[in-house]
Every structure is written in C-alpha cells, then in structure tokens.
Amino acid sequence: MTVLRCETMPVRSQQDVVAVRQSVRSFAVAQGLSLVDQTKIVTAASELARNTLDHGGGGTARLEAVSDNGRTGVRLTFEDRGPGIADIARAMTDGFTTGSGLGLGLGGAKRLSNDFDLWSRTGEGTRVTITRWK
Amino acid sequence: MADTSRVVRSDGGRIARVLEQDSSELLDAWITAQSGVLSNRGTISATELRAQSREFLSLLKAATANGPTGTGTNGPAWDDVRGFLADLSRSRAVQGFSPSETATFVFSLKQPLFSRLRRAAGSDADALSDDVWNATLMLDELGLYTTEVYQKSREEVISRQQRDMLELSTPVIKLWEGILALPMVGTLDSSRTQVAMESLLQRIVETGSDVAILDITGVPTVDTLTAQHLLKTVNAVHLMGAECIISGIRPQIAQTIVHLGVDLEDVVTKSSLADAFRMALQHTGRAVIRSAPPANARAREEA
Amino acid sequence: MDRIPILRMGQFLIVSIQVDMHDRLALTLQADLAARISQTGAHGVLLDISSLEVVDSFIGRMISNIAGTSRVLDAETVVVGIQPAVAITLVELGLSLPGVRTALNIEKGMAMLREATAGFEEADAAGRNSLSECDDDSAAL
C-alpha cells in the first residue's frame, strides 16, 4: 500500500471535529469516491473524532490518501492517550455507551468502512484505523 | 586523452547529437521499421504515423539535450516526452491496437538509432557500448511506459462500460405522477443492489415521488445479503419520507426470507407489480375505474 | 455562527440547518426550539436538513430528541429533505429515526403538518372567535 498524501490534524475541540469532517470530505473527493462513499467515510470520521474528543480527552486524526493494487481509497487513523477501552467487545456493541451518544460510534464506523482496526490498552490510549476504498 | 573521451561518454551527449544531425534520415529509417510491423493494419495513415514519429523525435532530442540520459526518464526534462507517449498510448488503446503494437512505436526506434550511434562512435568500442546501453535503458523505460498507460486506459474503458451496464440494468421507471418502479432482473449482487438503491433514491428526490415499487419478479434467488440490501433500500426510502412496496416475491424467495429470519415485518409486500401499482394509486389518493365494459363483452352483447 | 435561526410561520416553526454543526450548536438548537415551542404555542415544527451532507449519530439523536420534546410540548415534527447519500448512510449506521416523521421536501412536509394539526386549527379558530368561552370549549373537546 502506498500513501499518496498525508495530513495530521488535532482533535481537541468540537470545532476540530467539524474541521476533520471537512478535510476528510476533500480527501474523499480527491480520491474519486462516490457521493455515497464520501458520506459514509465522513460520517465514520465524525463518530471516531467525537470518540477521540469525548472519551480519549483529545488526540490526533491522520488522513491519508492511499492506493493499493490499483485501487484507491482514504485511510483515517484516530489516536488518543486517554484511558483506553476496558472491554473492546462490549464497546463495539450497538447501544453500548459511556458517553452522551447513541452508542453507535464504533460499531457504526466499522459498518461504514471497508477495513477497520482497533487497538486499545487501559491507561495507555486508543487507536482506530479505518479505510474506505473506491 | 582517455580522460576527455570518458567525459564525453558519460554525459550521453552523443545520443542527442545523433538525433540532431541525422534526424531526417533517422526518421525515414524508423518509419520503415514501424511500417513493417503495422503493415497489416489500416487504422493509422502514413501521414499520421510520420507526424507522430517526427514529433516524438524532436521531443526526444530536446529531452536528451537537456540532461544526461543515464539518470533515467523520470525527470522534469522528460515530461513532454512522457505526455506525448501517454496521449499516443491512450489513442492507440481506443483505436484497438494491441499493447505490443503500441510499445513497438518506441522499441522499433532501437535498430535505426543504434546503427547511427555506431557510425558516430567510429572505432571507439567503449563509447559505442556505453551509448547503446544508455539508449537501450532510455527506450526500454519509455516503451514500458506506453504499455503501462495502454493498460490503464483499457482498464478505464472496462470500468466505464461496467458502470454503464450497471446503470442500464437498473432503470427507474415512472409509472404515474408520484409513483416510481424499479424492476430488477437477474441475480442481485451487492454492488448491483447498491447502484439500484442509489439511483432509486436519487430519482425519488428529483421527481418528488411518494411511492416507490421495488419489483423483484425477475430475480431468481435471494440470499441473506441481498435480502438485507433490499431491507436497507426500503428503510432508506422511508427515511427520506416516501413509501416503498416490494412486489413480485416468488414463493421460493418468500420461504428463503422466512427461513433466513430476515425481518420484513414493516415492509409492504405485494405478489404482483399490478397489485403494488393499485396500492400505490390508493396511497396517492387515486383509483382505476372501468369507463366501459371490455371490448369482447360488448361484442358478445351486440351479437 | 453560534445559533441556528428559528422562523415562525403561523402556528408552525421552521428551522433550516444550512451549516455543518458542531455538537454544542446542535444542543443549543434543541434547547432554543423547545423554548420557542412553549413560548409560541406552536403546533408543528418543520426541520429542513436538505443542506446537511452528513448526519452522524449525534445529529441523529438531536433529531430524535427534537421530535420527542416537541411531542411532549404538543407539537408535531416533520423532518424534510434527507439526501439519498445521507439516508443510505443512516441505514448503514443503524439509525432509523423511530418516531420521526419525514417528508421529501418542504412542500410535502408542510402539507403533512397541516394534516396532522387540522384539529388544532379548528380549536384555535374557535378559541379566537369566543374568547370568553375558550376554556369551556377546550374542555368540551
């Protein structure tokens, strides 16, 4: 997999979440994703950025335009040094929430992307990587 | 003396000089070489081939004059050459040339170029072998590049045709003011259902239709994934504020759906498109009435 | 922008969201709308989200909350103009907005609201015609 373009953004405030959404949209447009696929990855980014902010106490979002074996896509990595997720299986379950949302964040983001990878350790932080291919 | 000749050798300047001095002779020899390969095709005229060849030689001359050839053909000095070859490969791909016929455009330059390099080098065997090596590297890279572009543009053609076919295979039909129908025929795979779903939703917005009928009479089987896709379509239509009716569910499919445990509880289903249409008319406050008895009944009465 | 404008048209309130909202803005709108409903005694809320390119679970929850709160305050909510890409994404996300009425466009949304609140209109008209009997009328209804 080759990375064509990369950008790292802070996720420290609600305005940052909006900025991440808009940048993800422009990455998705540049990579030629269809309108529906753009909307899916932007929505997933919004869920994950909010998680980073609300549960991780803030962190970073890395946006990458990637290509692999002739297909192109957008890969997003959200990283924080927050408390981490104690029970990953439970956090992935729809309806489970410790915050103010609907508890669809992680599971929803997974359904909206083609590849999904979650790393978390209690006390160290959380890293979620998703990819949406064209 | 030996030192100066080494400098001349490594800068590759002799290739540029040969291209410069023997250009018209080289062009003739090259075109003869190309015609040998392309003789069985009438798709490209002699004048066109000549114009293309002349342009390539002049671009190549400019590129080699600008920098040493030993460093490869990726630098900015080569942009014009690559741009020209990209256009050429693309147009040949569309015209129906084979990839080897396209690459031959570049490769066939080797023989005429080498023989002129030999003449220029005279008896200096080291210089000749260096020049030939440099020229080979250069032409191989450019030749491979044409194949790459050729393949890419063929892929573009194929994927465009696939998209066109997907759209053609899922036409959204307006049955009446405010009533749309999507007759699906054939096997429903994931990407097809998705394209169908998108075009249906788009048409609903465009036409402001209140009811959409999803007719699956022509669908032989339904697996769990397809059933879920259908369900998602119905949900998305609902979310946008329109009704969705599924019609033409075959008995086997009905059994499969129940067996798979897919919940179609909230989905309105009708056995035929006609029934669905009648229901859609009702929903939009209309009805079909018979204004006169059917023609054959009238004929019987008259008899 | 720190507030989404709420317009009043007769007995309806109209909100058209034209910006990419951050979460606090969405919460402010929710609170503002509840206050305006009780203040104006509106019977219907039209929420136009045709300009929204993204509806995530937070905005989805805001929409459900607005509909729920309005219902408690005796007003119907209709959400209009959900874009196809947004609808597909919501379904994939697992959000079906239960209890929220939707319509394709503002025109259909208004018609839906008028139909749903037809009873109120008569009651209000009756109330205006005979102010003194207002209380008795509504008791009778």
Q: Are residues B13 and B111 in the same domain?
A: yes
CB of C104 within 8 Å of a chain B CB? The answer is yes
What was the pLDDT predicted at C131?
44
d(CA B233, CA C91): 8
Please determine, for residue A43, whether its predicted confidence score (pLDDT) is greater than 90. Answer: yes
CB of B20 within 8 Å of a chain C CB? The answer is no
**Would residue B213 count as lying in a domain?**
yes
Q: A70, B194: Cβ pair inside 8 Å?
A: no
pLDDT digits (tens), chain C, 141 positions: 688 999 999 899 999 999 988 899 999 999 999 999 999 999 999 999 999 999 998 999 999 999 999 999 999 999 999 999 999 999 998 888 888 999 999 999 999 999 988 876 666 655 555 444 444 444 444
**Would residue C1 count as lying in a domain?**
no
**Would residue B272 count as lying in a domain?**
yes
Nearest to C55 by CA among A47, A128, B149: A47
Least confident of B12-16, B137-141, B155-159, C125-129: C125-129
CB of B11 within 8 Å of a chain C CB? The answer is no
Least confident of A60-69, B6-15, C80-89: B6-15
CB of B167 within 8 Å of a chain A CB? The answer is no
The stretch B183-202 carries a mean pLDDT of: 85
Tokens representing B128 are 């000749």
What was the pLDDT predicted at A133?
92
Q: C93, A111: Cβ pair inside 8 Å?
A: yes
Q: C54, A36: Cβ pair inside 8 Å?
A: no
Q: Are residues B83 and B187 in the same domain?
A: no
DSSP conformation letters of A65-110 = EEEETTEEEEEEEEEE-SS--S-HHHHTSTT--SSSS-S-HHHHHH
Domain boundary among B120, B136, B161: B161
Domain boundary among B161, B194, B215: B161
CB of B197 within 8 Å of a chain C CB? The answer is yes
**Would residue B293 count as lying in a domain?**
no
Report which residue type is found at B223. D
DSSP-derived 3-state class of residue A122: coil
In sequence order, which residues have a C-beta less than 8 Å from that of residue A30 and are 6 or more positions away? A5, A65
Domain that holds residue B29: 4-161
**Would residue C135 count as lying in a domain?**
yes
What was the pLDDT predicted at B190?
75
What was the pLDDT predicted at B12?
56
Q: Are residues B117 and B26 in the same domain?
A: yes
Q: Are residues B197 and B149 in the same domain?
A: no
Name the domain count of chain B: 2
DSSP-derived 3-state class of residue C38: helix
Q: Are residues B154 and B212 in the same domain?
A: no
Name the domain count of chain C: 1
The stretch B188-192 carries a mean pLDDT of: 77
Please determine, for residue B40, whether its predicted confidence score (pLDDT) is greater than 70. Answer: no
What was the pLDDT predicted at A95?
67
Q: Which of residues 49-88 of C touch B (CB under 8 A)?
A: 79-80, 82-85, 87-88
CB of A70 within 8 Å of a chain B CB? The answer is yes
**Would residue C38 count as lying in a domain?**
yes
Least confident of A41-55, B25-39, B179-193, B233-247: B25-39
What was the pLDDT predicted at C133?
42
What was the pLDDT predicted at A33?
92
Question: What number of other Cβ atoms are within 10 A of residue B24's Cβ?
Answer: 10
Q: A70, B198: Cβ pair inside 8 Å?
A: no
DSSP-derived 3-state class of residue B270: strand
Q: A102, C95: Cβ pair inside 8 Å?
A: yes
DSSP conformation letters of B169-236 = TS--EEEETTEEEEEEES---HHHHHHHHHHHHHHHHHHT-SEEEEEEEE-----HHHHHHHHHHHHH
In sequence order, which residues have a C-beta less than 8 Å from that of residue C72 and are 6 or more positions away? none
d(CA C23, CA C30): 11
Name subunits touching C (3+ CB pairs < 8 A). Answer: A, B
* CATH number, domain containing residue C30: 3.30.750.24
Domain that holds residue C19: 6-140
Question: What number of other Cβ atoms are within 10 A of residue C71's Cβ?
Answer: 13
Q: Are residues B125 and B203 in the same domain?
A: no
Q: B241, C83: Cβ pair inside 8 Å?
A: no
Q: Quote the DSSP letter at residue C117.
A: T
The stretch B162-171 carries a mean pLDDT of: 74
Please determine, for residue B129, whether its predicted confidence score (pLDDT) is greater than 70. Answer: yes
Please determine, for residue B11, whether its predicted confidence score (pLDDT) is greater than 60. Answer: no
Distance from the C72 Cα atom to the nearest Cα atom in chain A, whole angstroms: 21
**Would residue B294 count as lying in a domain?**
no
Tokens representing C94 are 């697992």
Q: Are residues B138 and B37 in the same domain?
A: yes
Among candidates A17, A40, A94 on the partner chain, residue whose Cβ is nearest the Cβ of C89:
A40
Q: Are residues B52 and B15 in the same domain?
A: yes
Please give the mean pLDDT across all residues of chain B: 83
**Would residue C82 count as lying in a domain?**
yes
Q: Are residues B127 and B192 in the same domain?
A: no
Write out pLDDT tens, residues A115-127: 999 999 999 999 9
Q: A47, C57: Cβ pair inside 8 Å?
A: yes
- Across C17-118, the runs of DSSP E, i.e. the strands, are 44-48, 76-80, 101-103
Q: Quote the DSSP letter at residue C140.
A: H
CB of B204 within 8 Å of a chain C CB? The answer is yes
Q: Are residues B37 and B108 in the same domain?
A: yes
Highest mean pLDDT: which range of A45-49, B80-84, B93-97: A45-49
* CATH number, domain containing residue B257: 3.30.750.24
The stretch B254-269 carries a mean pLDDT of: 80
**Would residue B289 count as lying in a domain?**
no
Residue of chain B whose alpha carbon sits nearest to that of C84: B201
Name subunits touching B (3+ CB pairs < 8 A). Answer: A, C
Q: C92, B232: Cβ pair inside 8 Å?
A: yes
Domain boundary among B161, B185, B206: B161
Residue of chain C whose alpha carbon sits nearest to that of B199: C84
Q: Are residues B177 and B155 in the same domain?
A: no
The stretch B264-270 carries a mean pLDDT of: 82
Q: Are residues B142 and B19 in the same domain?
A: yes
Taking only Cα atoms into account, the Rg of chain B, rounded to an integer number of angstroms, comes to 34
For A12-49, the three-class secondary structure string (H helix, E strand, C coil) is: CCHHHHHHHHHHHHHHHHHCCCCHHHHHHHHHHHHHHH
